Structure 1
Amino acid sequence: MEYNVQLKNLSSYIYRGKQPKYVTEGIPVINQKAIQWDTFDKSVLKYHDENKKIDKRHFIKKNDVLINSTGTGTVGRVYHINYEPDLMFADSHITIVRTNEDLLISRFLYYQMRTTQFQAMILNEFLAGSTGQVEFNKSMIEKLPINVPSISYQYKVVNILSKLDEKIETNKQIIANLEELSQTLFKRWFVDFEFPDKNGNPYKSSGGEMVDSEIGKIPKGWECVYLKDIVHHKKDTFNPKKSNELEVKHFSLPSFDSGQYPSIDNVTDIKSNKWIIDENCILFSKMNPTTRRIWVTSYNENFLNVASSEFVVLKSDNSYRNAFIYNICISDKFNEYLVSNTTGSTNSRQRVKPDIAIQYRFAYNEEVSYLLSEKIEPYIEKIKIIREQNQNLTQLRDTLLPKLMSGEIEIPDDIEVNEDELSI
């Protein structure tokens, strides 16, 4: 293995992206927000005027490594393009690295850069003393010291870690499908009012009687309710300075953004009050609701469970009601209501007041809601199980990562990774 080889000697291309000419529609532009650990968030992409020419070198290619190059808290974050991307380019806050694959496999570089040790090195050796806007410039990135084992060893490491990543991504797709199934049923029954009538036929389209209400036409026998009427807004406070707990299970915004994996944190590391949560709780963020953060929580009885004060905590009576509340919270109509009731001028300051959020109003029938919950509750419980599996897989990958990179764990020549064995 060669140690501390400068990245510029292993790469064919290291350049910043291009400042775009923003428009509402056009060529997608990758920004810092899009690059999350383990995730490429297309929902936050902006657009460039396609009539304004961009040098083709700025367009993203398969095997590119993207590095967030500015911004406290995001600088150094990396993402690997391991697929043929759509037409898009990176903005000037992102550096594109194209390795010489004969010397350094791009995905191996990605894995090396995402280790805790490498990220700490970036902050302590390259960005130490930075004030104001943190800048990870091209010359710094060119000088990054890379450990370079043989190509055959790189392939073995990438194979093992990629299998874990593929299983995690497959699980994410299963979760997305389950949420879509759940939300499709919810919308059909509680928005389109096509729940089964007494004969098993779709209510509204089969001539079911609709009556006037404060929110428009609703089925006869239904009522208009506020969210606060059917769920408890939980406001029990955890004060870390007055607690005897050593560790807590922490549902934080960063944990949500990194895959909805709550962290186990030392109480001494928590500097502000949190909400206490227990079984059958749903969280939604009151901050910048255009970025949806709705969390169906998994309660861990071995720890005190707490949530960021930026979340609103809704407590249900049971798992059936919880599944119904979750579908209200992930619905487009609820999100539109939150967005329309935000205050504040910038994304970081935009918030909706919890007391206003829980005054969201909708058509409701207790019997129909229970029948729906019987159908969708298994989906939601399955989502919670798969998320926990993904958290275990992520922890396994992150434990293996530095040991494989350093050679602490030897890889047999004939190793094969069976995806069925990754079901933790």
Structure 2
Amino acid sequence: MRGLVMSSEWVEVTFDELKASTRQSFAMGPFGSRIKAENFVTKGVPVIKGGNLNGNFLLEDNFDYLTEEKAEELSSSIALPLDLVITHRGTIGQVGIIPESSRYPKYVVSQSQLKLSFDQSKVSPYFIYYFLRSPEGQRRLLTNASQVGVPAIAQALTSTRAISLSLPHLSEQRAIVNVLLTLDNRIEHNHALAANLEAIARRLFKSWFVDFDPVRAKAAGEKPPGLADDIAALFPDRFVESELGEVPEGWRLETLASVARLNPEAWTTRKHPDEIHYLDLSNVKDGIIEAPTRFSWEEAPSRARRVLEQGDTIIGTVRPGNRSFALIDQTWLTGSTGFAVLRPASNAEREYLYLASTSDDAIERLAHLADGAAYPAVRPEVVLATEAIITGKKIMTAFSSVIKGMIDRASVCKQEANVLAAIRDLLLPRLISGKLRVEDAESIIEEVIA
């Protein structure tokens, strides 16, 4: 390794040669018996599970927590900023890294994960992270994987130590990492901006159609705050009794069938395009659509049948608690039959339909109603039967006019993130293998996003 630091050539090394000199630099999570349900507390040291490795770097939500004392009992499984975490059992191939700006100073990895600490005088941890996310890195990581029973990497620690890669000078590593990090940070920024815009839209939806704030203000003889006079005038000024309790006068409790059509179009063996851009449930999460998969019609999965149009809302009916929903903002997409497709009756209902059908309460209802132990699902008709407050057309039109800009801007952010992710995925294997110079990668990025 002394030659590695000084040389400008790429040198083949193993992970074992790059590990940190600290004790337990590579370590498995604790055996299941050492973390029990009764050990979890409401706050403390977070436990990293496979679900936290489903995005870039580390998804810092839905943690279980341990006390400081319990975490110290499991000290060999503690992961710190710039440590890598990989899944060795279950959803094998998952890779994450704890960023320097992580929310917590330390974490504990679960029994299905490995934590890897590297010597940063020899290697950039981010370089290893990106290597393991490349096709070649995944191949080497899963060389000793077994798919019998629960998928697992055999002799996980030994296998991981033996992984080899070609490594350039540390300065070159950092330059490569900088290109990829710049793209990933911009992707994360776009997703965060889209999430914030959608959160504002959801708060306004709740104010108007769940809490009835404008109606309550008028019933109290006050002007609804933040509303233009012409929009405020559209709201009633009193409540009437209903099976839901008090509702604004003239509004009614119905189902989404009042504002949507269910699964309005499907491809058939006689009517279909030559090529489809296919969305499976795995491509969709919490309003974000990943890049669709292209298939010729002959090669497409048999479930690739739902015709999707801009403005449709799609909701996964299999394991609906996984929140596989989105508002379609692209053309020429085909969805899985695992989606319920809701097409708004008119453009005025587009935003209302999306927010009403994908609210936390609506998704929790579907998750509760899902049948089947191994394959819990609901029928599409159950999605359409979601209850909703239905108002007059003018209120719907006003709501659309107020939030359409937010939803459209969020869609632009998501689409730009998809473009950046495609560029990153194109450049990653070439940069990480030395087949593409950093300068050339930067030129490609500038040309595409200029």
Normalised to the residue count of structure 2, the TM-score between the two structures is 0.83
Q: Is the 8 A contact 1:21 1:52 kept in 2?
A: no
- Asked if the contact 2:278/2:292 (under 8 Å) is kept, the reply is yes
Match of 2:252 in 1: 223
SS at match of 1:110: helix
Deviation at 1:169, TM superposition (A): 0.9
Secondary structure of 1:89's aligned partner: strand
Aligned pair partner of 2:382 in 348, 351, 356: 356
Matching residue of 1:59: 78
Aligned pairs, number: 411
1:390 lines up with 2:417 in the alignment: yes
Q: Which residue of 1 aligns with 2:54?
A: 36
Superposed CA deviations along residues 139-195 of structure 1, whole A, max 9, x for unmatched, are 111111121100010110111111111111111110111011101110110011123
Name the CA shift for 1:405/1:51 in 2 (closer, same or farther; >3 Å): closer
Distance 2:270 2:79 in 1: 51
Equivalent-residue separation in structure 2 for 1:284 and 1:256 (angstroms): 9
Change (3 A) 1:39 1:8: closer
The correspondence for 1:16, drawn from 13, 25, 28, is 28
Q: Deviations over 1:13-58 (max 9, x none)?
A: 1111123222463443211122114263444433446664532232
- How far residue 132 of structure 1 moved from its aligned partner, in angstroms, is 2.1
Which residue in 1 is equivalent to 2:321?
290
> 2:64 matched to which residue of 1?
46
**Maintained 8 Å contact 2:258/2:390:** no
Q: Which residue of 2 aligns with 1:329?
A: 357
Q: Indicate the residue corresponding to 1:404 in structure 2.
A: 431
1:82 is matched with 99
Residue 76 of structure 1: how far off its partner (Å): 1.5
Distance in 2, Cα, partners of 1:269 & 1:153 = 42
In structure 2, the residue matched to 1:25 is 41
CA displacement at 1:227 relative to structure 2: 0.8
**Per the alignment, do residues 101 and 111 of structure 1 end up closer, same or farther by CA in structure 2, a change over 3 Å counting?**
same
Q: Is the 8 A contact 1:65 1:97 kept in 2?
A: yes
* Partner in structure 2 of residue 182 of structure 1: 201
The residue identity in structure 1 corresponding to 2:402 is K
Q: Distance in 1 between matches of 2:340 and 2:95?
A: 31
- Tell me: CA distance 1:90–1:169, structure 2 relative to 1, closer, same or farther (3 Å): same
CA contact (8 A) 2:264 2:343 kept: no
* CA–CA separation in structure 2 for the residues paired with 1:420 and 1:394: 14
The 10-residue stretch of structure 1 (189-198 or 349-358) with the greater mean CA deviation from structure 2: 189-198
Which one-letter code corresponds to 2:436 in the other structure? I
Deviation, 1:320, is: 3.5
Give the one of 279, 289, 297 matched to 2:310.
Answer: 279
Alpha carbons of 1:184 and 1:149: their partners in 2 closer, same or farther (altered >3 Å)? Answer: same
CA contact (8 A) 2:279 2:293 kept: no
* Higher normalized helix content (fraction of residues): 2
CA pair 284-8 structure 1, distance change in 2 beyond 3 A: same
Percent same amino acid among aligned pairs?
21
Q: Distance in 1 between matches of 2:360 and 2:437?
A: 50
Name the stretch that deviates more: 241-250 or 271-280.
Answer: 241-250
Counterparts of 1:250 and 1:207 in 2: how far apart (Å)? 44
Secondary structure in 2 aligned to 1:40? Answer: coil
TM-score, normalised on structure 1? 0.88
Secondary structure at the residue paired with 1:178? helix
Q: Whole-Å Cα distance in 2 between the matches of residues 52 and 322 of structure 1?
A: 49
1:245 Cα shift? 3.7
8 Å contact from structure 1 (residues 250, 307) kept in 2 = yes
Alignment of 1:6-405 (within 5 A): 6-12=14-20, 13-18=25-30, 19=32, 20-23=35-38, 25-26=41-42, 27-38=45-56, 40-48=58-66, 52=70, 54-71=73-90, 74-83=91-100, 84-86=102-104, 87-123=106-142, 125-127=143-145, 130-136=147-153, 137-195=156-214, 200-201=223-224, 208-238=237-267, 245-257=273-285, 260-267=289-296, 268-274=298-304, 275-300=306-331, 303=332, 305-345=333-373, 349-366=375-392, 367-405=394-432
Deviation (angstroms), 1:80: 1.4
When the two chains are superposed, the root-mean-square deviation of aligned CA atoms in Å is 2.9
8 Å Cα contact 1:283/1:295 also seen in 2: yes
Deviation at 1:318, TM superposition (A): 4.2
Deviations 1:72-117 (A, max 9, x none): xx31221111123424311011111111111110001111111123
